[in-house]
């Protein structure tokens, strides 16, 4: 635990706010997307749904959803693929960035996990979110004729190196030069770290960003091949719209009270 805290502190001091980054592309991504704190009202509703799933062991960081939402919004990703939807929480975040002009396919091999998510997504009218349960290979074969290339692919295998590698191989046919590949759990163990290094050295890879728990890969040949690290606070509570409104209201109340006291 102490080692993990030390690593986190080092990354916070060394890799943040685009320090030392000379690429305008990466600098804008870090400052305008990764470290952006702007909340959106829909985040509250999704997090309320997450609380209902508290009986399950939730292993996904709360800040993941907002970050994925911002990435999709920033790059205007219209076609999204998630391999392992799990509870469906992150699927909802991704589908809402361009609710009317995008389509998000969330794949989950374990039947029954998504029942609650399906009900909630229906209540929120998330028509662009398509759930696909069952074998990943079979479902991806079905998708190939519908979506030849995905703008964004999120592999959500939580640091399982074997399953992550299988998912990467399955998704290769859907990766184009403008695609973005995001992988969860890249620092969880030695096996997944080795896989991440292998993916970085792949000739098809141009730019990678290591966020410690999450890795982002770009394939655009116009980008100079480079590997970056950046600090991202996974432990901090999700920056929610409702919380932000309450803080602003509180500050307004304090300011008003202070004026009243001064007048007296």
Question: What pLDDT shows up at residue 236?
Answer: 54
Q: Is the dihedral of CA 201, 185, 66, 137 positive or negative?
A: positive
Query: Nearest to residue 218, comparing CAs of 164, 153, 147?
Result: 153
Question: What pLDDT shows up at residue 62?
Answer: 62
**Long-range Cβ contact pairs of 36-40 (< 8 A, separation 24 or more):** 36/70, 37/239, 38/239, 39/66, 39/239, 39/240, 39/241, 39/243, 39/244, 40/66, 40/69, 40/241
Predicted TM-score of the model (pTM): 0.82
Q: Which domains does the chain have, with CATH numbers?
A: 2-263 (3.40.50.150)
pLDDT digits (tens, 9 = 90+) for 161-195: 999 999 999 999 999 999 999 999 999 999 999 99
pLDDT digits (tens, 9 = 90+) for 188-226: 999 999 999 999 999 999 999 999 889 999 999 999 999
pLDDT digits (tens, 9 = 90+) for 58-95: 545 567 888 999 999 999 999 999 999 999 999 999 99
> β-strand 129-133 against 226-229: which pairing, if any?
unpaired
Let me know: does 132 contact 105? Beta carbons within 8 Å. yes
């Amino acid at each position: 635990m102490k080692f993990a805290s030390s690593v986190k502190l080092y990354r916070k001091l060394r890799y943040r706010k685009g320090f030392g980054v000379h690429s305008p592309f990466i600098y804008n991504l870090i400052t305008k997307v990764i470290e952006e704190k702007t909340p959106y009202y829909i985040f509250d509703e999704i997090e309320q749904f997450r609380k209902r799933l508290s009986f399950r062991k939730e292993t996904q960081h709360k800040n993941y959803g907002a970050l994925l939402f911002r990435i999709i919004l920033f790059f205007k990703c219209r076609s999204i693929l998630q391999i392992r939807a799990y509870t469906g929480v992150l699927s909802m975040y991704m589908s809402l960035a361009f609710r009317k002009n995008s389509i998000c396919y969330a794949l989950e091999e374990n039947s029954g996990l998504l029942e609650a998510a399906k009900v909630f997504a229906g209540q929120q009218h998330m028509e662009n979110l398509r759930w696909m349960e069952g074998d990943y290979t079979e479902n991806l074969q079905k998708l190939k004729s519908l979506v030849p290339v995905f703008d964004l692919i999120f592999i959500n295998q939580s640091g399982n190196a074997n399953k992550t590698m299988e998912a990467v191989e399955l998704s290769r046919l859907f990766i184009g030069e403008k695609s973005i590949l995001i992988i969860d759990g890249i620092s969880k163990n030695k096996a997944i770290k080795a896989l991440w290094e292998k993916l970085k050295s792949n000739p098809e890879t141009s730019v990678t960003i290591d966020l410690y728990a999450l890795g982002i890969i770009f394939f655009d040949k116009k980008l100079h091949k480079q590997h970056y690290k950046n600090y991202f606070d996974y432990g901090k509570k999700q920056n929610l719209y409702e919380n932000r409104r309450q803080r602003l209201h509180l500050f307004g109340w304090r300011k008003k009270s202070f004026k009243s006291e001064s007048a007296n």
